[in-house]
A and B are shown apart, each in its own frame.
Chain A
Amino acid sequence: MVIEVNGVWKKFPKIKKPNFLQSIKQFIKPQYKWALKNVSFSVKRGEIFGLLGPNGAGKTTLIKILLGLMAPDKGKVRILGYDIQKERKEVSGKINACFARANLYWTLSGYENLKLFAKIYRIEDYEEKIKDLVKLFDLKDKIYRHVDTYSTGEIMRLNLARALINDPEILFLDEPTLGLDPYISLKLRDFIAKLNKEFKTTILLTTHYMEEADRLCKRIAIIDKGKILKIDTPENLKLEIKKEKVIEIRANPITQEILNEIKEMRGVEGIIYIEEEEKIRILLKNIEIIEKITNLLNKNKIKIVEIQTDRPTLEDVFLHLTSKGLRYQNEVF
């Protein structure tokens, strides 16, 4: 096992950036909220392990603890056999990370960014290494230009190149495709898969995109409110809901009241409203409930455009485990 996480707990002050009075109040009567609750898992060498959860689930806190950027309140983390809190120096040259929203020096060129980190990681033949990475990420035309002239996709590629400068044994990717357009996301996912296949790099990936986790990860941990709800392969996770049915109804106009009413119906396990597609995705305990739902929609003069059953996705698994959607803003809780 290259990553071992045992019983990690982490709490934060309830007010994250307190003003002066709030600081005094926090000092006199500390109030905390738990960001991670007894998190345990392990990752094998060469595996792509996904942490799948909505925003605020605790994914980034966990990744920061794994990287030694934050200390847990309780529990142990071992990376490549070393205690990351006490033996950070032993392990820091063998790991690397790429965070959401590229973190590069914008006033330096792409080449200067790579060279800086190559020197920090004490890469002897760094010119050769940079050349390889530039080729791999197709950055040849831009590499001597300042980073602030790069497009979003180029920045992300450069950031990944930077994260690979030391040939890390473990690569931590925190929401690597956040904010990228679908084409670049697709290319990036291809690259992550290739990296794992060709270089046997162990990858820990956090994401709230189910298709990303589904496509890339050998195993997935579903995390919500700081708790790991389930760890398994994507296939096994989907088997979790083989008894339930998934239906999609395209209809308009959909109101919050209607969504609430459907949610309250007996037999409805979860509901997500995908606003941009005017589509309701419903997880049902039995298929007979469809009639009740269509009656409700008709009664409220809502035009049903299409009804279809669908195969369960990780989104539905998440819905099944938490009774809420993973990625859409207009989901019903």
Chain B
Amino acid sequence: MRFFKDMLLIGVKEVKGYYRWELNYFWDMIYPVLDLVLFVTVWYAIFQGGFQSVGILNKENFIGFLLSGILAFQFIYSPLSSQFTQSFIREKYRRTLQNLLISPISRISIPYGKSLLSLVRSTYSTVILIIFSALFLGFNLTGNFILGIFLFLLTFVSFSGLGLILASLGAWREDIASLSWLISYILEISSGVYYPIEALPQNIKEILMLIPSTQAVTAARLIFLKNATFMQVLPHLTYISIFGIITMCLAIICFKFVEKKAMLIGI
């Protein structure tokens, strides 16, 4: 109970601090929208050139294809973003971390609480993207929304594990924090957010399907484009869950390691 209360306190603090700068509302709105507009334009041009279809993607559903992929990726990218890892480094240098660590707070709740800001940002971007698509692209997202929300939350929790590993290690060595940018970039390219991985050679496709983010993007498309049921996306959900359990366990080990290291050389 204490853990959850403390996590919420840190989460609220992070959200208030982040949105203290009003332009952050704007950036969180504009970046995913620009992403969507850019790739909608690209695919529009490709289809205008006579291209018919590949895999799940065709002339009729390419906006939904891109939108569902980008939505799923919001919940992958945000816990891995440098904003999250840098937040630890900032706390360390501003010495606010010391105040938290001497207090009766549950120490492990600090990184988890910080990750709540990522969840708020992802949710905000998701809402903006859905509204933008409906208003300006004339596309209404359909499908099982409850299952979609469940998928997004599960994806967020699973990738938070990876984010926490990077954040913990980043608090120990700042140069590790840059890795979060590299990893999220690789995942963005390899998950088929902007293109159908079916278009790639079979062996590359098989490798890419091993990446948990590809599973999340694929499941999102099944839910929103094919109106898939829970049972139909269960293999993808299981895959993401297993990844999440492994990364969460590793995150706790990393956090304890960094905590032990900090006790030796100071925070």
- Could you list which residues of chain A lie within 8 angstroms of chain B, going by C-beta atoms? 12-13, 16, 61, 64, 67-71, 89, 92-93, 95-97, 99, 101, 103-108, 112, 116-117, 119-122, 146, 162
Contacts and interface: CB of A to CB of B under 8 A. Distances in A.
Given A119-B5, A120-B100, 19 more contacts: A68-B101, A69-B98, A69-B101, A69-B262, A69-B266, A69-B267, A70-B262, A70-B263, A70-B265, A70-B266, A70-B267, A71-B264, A99-B95, A107-B16, A116-B9, A117-B99, A120-B9, A122-B104, A162-B99
The list of the 5 closest CB pairs from A to B, nearest first, reads A103-B95, A107-B17, A107-B20, A92-B104, A71-B263
Contacts of A97: 98-99, 102
A61 B265 CA distance: 9
Contact of B102 (A12, A92, A105): A92
B211 interface: no
Nearest to B260: A71
B104 A103 contact: no
A99 B17 CA distance: 22
Interface string B237-267: 0000000000000000000000000111111
A99 B96 CA distance: 10
Contact of A99 (B9, B21, B98): B98
A61 B104 contact: no
A120 B6 contact: yes
Contact of B17 (A61, A64, A92, A108): A108
Interface of B: 5-6, 9, 13, 16-18, 20-21, 94-96, 98-105, 262-267
A104 B104 CA distance: 17
Contacts of A103: 94-96, 98-99
Contacts of A107: 16-18, 20-21
Contacts of A13: 265
Contacts of B16: 107-108, 112
A106 B105 CA distance: 20
Contacts of A106: 94
Contacts of B95: 99, 101, 103
Interface centre among B13, B20, B102 (most CB of A within 10 A): B102
Contacts of B105: 120
Nearest to B8: A119
Contacts of A89: 104
Contacts of A92: 102-104
B111 to A, nearest CB: 15
6 contacts: A71-B263, A92-B104, A103-B94, A103-B96, A105-B13, A106-B94
A95 B105 CA distance: 13
Given A103-B98, A108-B17, A146-B20, A120 B104 contact: yes
A121 B96 contact: no
Nearest to B266: A70
A96 B263 contact: no
Given A92-B104, A119-B9, A105 B266 contact: no
B265 A16 contact: yes
Most chain B CB within 10 A, of A104, A116, A120, is at A120
Nearest to A96: B102
Given A105-B13, A107-B20, A95 B102 contact: yes
B89 to A, nearest CB: 13
B196 to A, nearest CB: 41
Contacts of A101: 95
A121 B103 CA distance: 7
B105 to A, nearest CB: 5
Contact of B104 (A12, A64, A69, A93): A93
A68 B100 CA distance: 12
Contacts of A93: 103-104
A237 B100 CA distance: 37
B266 A67 contact: no
Contacts of B99: 97, 103, 117, 162
Contacts of B13: 105, 108, 112, 116
A210 to B, nearest CB: 25
Contacts of B262: 69-70
Nearest to A99: B95
Contacts of A68: 101-102
Contact of A120 (B17, B18, B103, B266): B103
Nearest to B263: A71
Contacts of B100: 120
Contacts of B17: 105, 107-108
A315 B16 CA distance: 46
A89 B3 CA distance: 14
